[in-house]
Amino acid sequence: MLPCPYAYEEVDVHEKDEVAASLIAWHFRIEPELRAIYRIISADEDAAGEPIKLLEVNAASVETGRVVPFAFGSAGDITYPSVVAEVTPAEMDAIRQRKIALPAGWSLETAREFLRPRAVDAA
């Protein structure tokens, strides 16, 4: 998903970080096999229209051998659009080995890693 070419204003990155953290926490709550989430941070992260991008490592996912992102509009408390791609742990290893490519503009080098909180498993 590309940002709107007519949106030149910048967003409040701190607020966007809070929304992303809320979305990540919710995904961990609803996905029991979710192991890790990588929030992909782009060079244009503070541009209006730039979505929150999440690469999710889910043991219950079906292996496809590629990264398929799905775009979602903003809704409710998630006030930014988002793009989510789900991979298996084996596919994540292949991504790290550069055997599977990430979508254009995505990089693990600037990504923030979130591991499954233990408190989620205890709940």
Token look-up 């204003």 returns 9
Q: Is the dihedral of CA 72, 34, 28, 48 positive or negative?
A: negative
Q: How many CB atoms are located within 10 Å of the residue 57 CB?
A: 23
Q: What is the pLDDT of residue 54?
A: 98
- Residue 16: Cβ-neighbour burial (10 angstroms; 0-12, 13-18, 19+): middle
CA 120 to chain centre: 19
Give tens-digit pLDDT for 39-85: 999 998 989 889 999 999 999 999 999 999 999 999 999 999 999 99
Mean per-residue pLDDT, 8-20 = 75
Give tens-digit pLDDT for 79-111: 999 999 999 999 999 999 999 999 999 999 999
Q: Where are the domains of the chain?
A: 34-122
CA 66 to chain centre: 15
